[in-house]
Amino acid sequence: MSSILFENVRLIDPASGRDGKGSLLVENGRIAAIDPKEAPKAARIVDGNGAVLCPGLVDMRASFGEPGAEYRESIDSGIQAAVAGGITSLALLPDTDPAIDNPALVHYIRRRGEETGLVSIHPYGALTKGCAGVEMAEIGLLKKAGAVGFTDGARAIADTKQMRNLLAYSGFLDTIIILHPEDPSLAKGGCATASPQAVKMGLPQIPACAEAMMVARDLRLAELTGARIHFGHISTGEALGLIAEAKKRGTRVTCDTAPPYFAMTEADIGDFRTYAKLSPPLRLEADRQAVLAGLADGTIDAIASDHSPADADDKRLPFAQARAGGTGLVTLLGVTLRAGLPLLDALRLLTVAPARLLGLEAGTLTIGAAADLCLFNPEEEWTVAAGDLPGRAQNTPFDGQTLKGRILRTFHHGREVFTAEGLSS
């Protein structure tokens, strides 16, 4: 099979801490050597011109509309956006229609991923049947079928006793339980974080503490049951404080956040901008700063795209009626680079850190590992333009913004799956 030699690149491998000039040889879809003394004569040479070569990004939290809402985003369309964002592994939330709550559907998602062959798709299994928060799903069978973790997606489990039982049961499977931390009754009907601006706009509000309240409950239940829990899209300082304390106590807890929560605030919903309507809703500046601090001090374990597709009709509605959620695959790297973290740390949160949380063999430049690679220029700027983005869904909250960090090429298992415009493939 073919060989590729990446020359004149800045190799960054967060798993080993390596960051420096070098070259990398790929053979038969796997990483064969770093700084090889010689390469096969037939090897294709990719001259990076000093660009960064790092492991392909691992996105642990994305939604597509398949099955059930392919008009928003199908697996085929979504992975076009993923590879353009340098992503080579994706974990998909199970709150589709139908929900991924039986083994056949887990197989279906995996097979659809394999058919496309452009990225590795890992399904989450539903924690409860239909992600409805009532009846426990067959999580043991789902795990056997290949589910990498369990979650009800964007829904929190309201019933405390039910939650306790779910966490207790999951203990023997040694799996990760991903939670949407928001008190559902406090959040019901709300669409914006409680704030002076939301009051002026006359929008139904959700107090920011709805997040910390759920985090507090679920941390206690994790301690009670010994389950391994992970909070998705953490967005408030109060919740991060609770998680940091719990980590010190030895609670088995991790968390991620998504780019909007450290790059935007609630001020961005001004003029009823529905593309900035997210769940959880955008927070105030103090919480944005707290999320940045949580990224810097390690309280936050990973950054996920939180890709949540909507079509124009979902969003061209009065704010309270519009669908919550924004796309995030294409902008994942560029917005993350804005967080002010050292490049090695930023890439760790996007590669090996989420891969380890889910037990995936991905996100490193280890010899023998699958050659999932992302080549990007950290200095090159590009402007986000809703309507022109790869993939079907165009509901980016970052529309019109200029981002630094342009993906040049993406490789999955040694195959070039994305080439930036203007480059030869």
Partner 1 sequence: MSLTHHIPHLLGIEGMTEKDITPFLDLAESYALLSRSRNAPRDVLQGRTVINLFFEDSTRTRTSFELAAKRLGADVVNMTVATSSVNKGETLLDTASTLNAMHCDLLVVRHAQSGAPALLSQKVEASVVNAGDGMHEHPTQALLDGLTIRRHFGRLSGLKIAICGDIAHSRVARSDIHLLRAMGNDIHLAGPPTLLPGALGTLDGVTLHHNIDDALKDADVAMCLRVQRERMGSGLVPSAREYFSLFGLDRRRLALAKPGALVMHPGPMNRGVEIASAVADSPQSVISEQVEMGVAVRMAVLDRLSRMKNPA
Query: CA–CA separation, 3 vs 414, rounded Å?
Result: 8
Query: CA–CA separation, 417 vs 7, rounded Å?
Result: 19
Give me the residue label for tokens 């589709």: 96
Region of 103-111, 182-190, 313-321, 368-376 interacting with partner 1 (CB under 8 A): 313-321
Give the count of residues interacting with partner 1 (CB under 8 A): 20
**Residues 6 or more apart whose Cβ sits within 8 Å of residue 408:** 48, 51, 375, 376, 377, 419, 420, 423
Query: Active-site residue 47, yes or no?
Result: no
Q: Which residues of 275-284 are buried (b: 16+ CB within 10 A; e: fewer)?
A: bbbbbbbbbb
Residues 232-271 touching partner 1, rule: CB under 8 A, are 271
Q: Please report whether residue 353 would count as binding partner 1 according to CB under 8 A.
A: no
| Residue from 141, 317, 385, 423 in contact with partner 1 (CB under 8 A) | 317
Region of 45-53, 87-95, 200-208, 229-237 interacting with partner 1 (CB under 8 A): 200-208
Q: Residue 327 has what DSSP assignment?
A: -
Q: Please report whether residue 209 would count as binding partner 1 according to CB under 8 A.
A: no
Q: Please report whether residue 319 would count as binding partner 1 according to CB under 8 A.
A: yes
Q: Which residue among the candidates 287, 306, 314, 372 is catalytic per the annotation?
A: 306
Region of 6-14, 72-80, 188-196, 222-230 interacting with partner 1 (CB under 8 A): 188-196
Which string of DSSP letters, residue by residue, matches 26-39? EETTEEEEES-S--
Tell me the closest approach of the beta carbon of residue 307 to partner 1, in angstroms: 23
Q: Please report whether residue 313 would count as binding partner 1 according to CB under 8 A.
A: yes
Can you give the C-alpha Rg of the chain in angstroms?
A: 21
Residue 317 or 367 with smaller CB distance to partner 1: 317
Region of 92-100, 166-174, 199-207, 235-243 interacting with partner 1 (CB under 8 A): 199-207
| Residue from 68, 160, 316, 359 in contact with partner 1 (CB under 8 A) | 316
Q: Please report whether residue 387 would count as binding partner 1 according to CB under 8 A.
A: no
Containing H/E element for 216?
Answer: helix 209-225
Quick check: helix, strand or coil at residue 206? strand
**How far, CA to CA in Å, does 363 sit from each of 3, 371, 373, 382, 395?**
20, 10, 9, 25, 28
**Residues 6 or more apart whose Cβ sits within 8 Å of residue 271:** none
Tell me the closest approach of the beta carbon of residue 120 to partner 1, in angstroms: 37
Residue 132 or 201 with smaller CB distance to partner 1: 201
Binding site for partner 1 (CB under 8 A): 194-196, 198-204, 271-272, 313, 316-322
- Which residues are catalytically annotated? 306
